[in-house]
C-alpha cells in the first residue's frame, strides 16, 4: 500500500472511533453506572477526532504537495498497575475488551505505516504515525487496561500468557496453516507454521520463567 492508501484507511478508522464506537461506549457506560469508563471513552473519542483531522490534513499535503504535515500528537503516558476490573457492568467490560483490541491494532498499524513512510523518505508522515501509535498504546490502551483489570500479578500474567501462546501454537496457527495449504496458499501456510513454532518457543520460555518463580 502506498502512503495515500495508508493515510486514508487510518483517517477512516479514526473517524469511526471518534464518531461512532467511543461515543456509543461512553453512552452505554453512563447508562450502566460506569461513570469513570464513560469519562475515559469520551476523552478518547476526542483524541481520535484529533487523529482523524491530522491524518486528513496529512493526506491533503501528500496529495497536493502543498502545506505542512501536522506535528505528531503529544504523548502523556499512563501506567497500568496490577489490579481488578474497575467497572461494574458486563457490557462496559465487553466494550473495554473491544476497545483494547482496536487500540492494539491501531498501534501495530501505525507502527508499520510509519516504517513504510520512512522508507519512502517521508519523515513528517512517519513522525505523525509514530506519534499517533504512541498515544494508542501509552494512553488509550493503557488507561483502558487499568479499568479492564488487564494486568495481574506476575505469576497470573505468566499463566495467562502461556495459555495464549499455547493456543496459538497448537490450535490457531495449525488450523490456519492447514486451511491455507488446502486452498494452495503455500506462502501463507508456511508463515503460519513458522509462527506456530515461534509461539511454541514463547510458551516454553514463559513456562521456564514461571517455574523459576516457584
Binding site for Fe ion (CB under 5 A): 14, 48, 51, 103, 136, 140, 165, 199, 202
Task: Answer whether 114's CB lies under 8 Å from 129's CB.
Answer: yes
109 vs 140, beta carbon nearer Fe ion = 140
- Of the pair 51, 109, the CB lying nearest Fe ion is at 51
Helix and strand totals (H; E) in the chain: 9, 0
CB of 117 to Fe ion, least distance (A): 16
Shortest distance in whole angstroms from residue 7 CB to Fe ion: 13
CB of 44 to Fe ion, least distance (A): 6
- Between 91 and 202, whose beta carbon lies closer to Fe ion? 202
Closest separation in Å from C-beta 65 to Fe ion: 26
How far apart are alpha carbons 41 and 134 in whole angstroms?
Answer: 18
CA-nearest of 100, 81, 91, 82 to 34 is 91
Q: Are 62 and 3 in contact (CB under 8 A)?
A: yes
For the bound state, the minimum distance from the C-beta of residue 182 to Fe ion, rounded and expressed in Å, comes to 25
Q: What is the CA radius of gyration of the chain?
A: 20
List the grid coordinates of 210.
514461571
Please, which residue, 166 or 202, has the CB nearer to Fe ion?
Answer: 202
**Crossing angle of the two packed helices 123-135 and 90-119, in degrees rounded to 10:** 160
Q: Cα torsion for 33, 36, 41, 42, to the nearest 10°?
A: 90
Q: Is the CB of 88 or the CB of 207 nearer to Fe ion? A: 207
Amino acid at each position: 500500500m502506498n502512503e495515500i492508501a495508508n493515510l486514508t484507511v487510518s483517517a477512516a478508522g479514526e473517524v469511526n472511533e471518534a464518531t461512532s464506537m467511543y461515543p456509543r461506549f461512553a453512552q452505554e457506560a453512563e447508562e450502566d453506572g460506569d461513570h469513570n469508563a464513560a469519562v475515559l471513552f469520551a476523552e478518547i473519542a476526542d483524541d481520535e477526532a484529533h487523529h482523524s483531522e491530522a491524518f486528513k490534513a496529512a493526506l491533503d499535503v501528500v496529495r497536493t504537495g502543498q502545506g505542512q504535515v501536522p506535528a505528531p500528537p503529544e504523548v502523556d503516558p499512563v501506567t497500568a498497575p496490577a489490579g481488578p476490573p474497575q467497572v461494574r457492568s458486563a457490557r462496559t467490560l465487553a466494550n473495554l475488551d473491544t476497545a483494547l483490541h482496536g487500540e492494539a491494532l491501531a498501534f501495530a498499524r501505525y507502527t508499520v505505516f510509519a516504517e513504510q513512510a520512512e522508507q519512502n523518505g517521508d519523515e513528517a508522515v512517519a513522525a505523525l504515525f509514530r506519534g499517533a501509535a504512541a498515544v494508542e498504546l501509552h494512553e488509550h490502551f493503557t488507561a483502558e487496561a487499568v479499568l479492564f483489570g488487564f494486568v495481574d500479578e506476575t505469576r497470573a500474567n505468566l499463566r495467562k500468557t502461556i495459555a495464549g501462546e499455547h493456543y496459538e501454537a497448537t490450535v490457531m496457527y495449525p488450523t490456519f496453516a492447514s486451511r491455507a495449504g488446502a486452498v494452495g496458499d503455500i506462502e501463507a501456510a508456511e508463515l503460519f507454521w513458522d509462527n506456530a513454532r515461534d509461539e511454541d518457543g514463547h510458551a516454553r520460555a514463559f513456562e521456564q520463567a514461571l517455574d523459576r518463580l516457584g
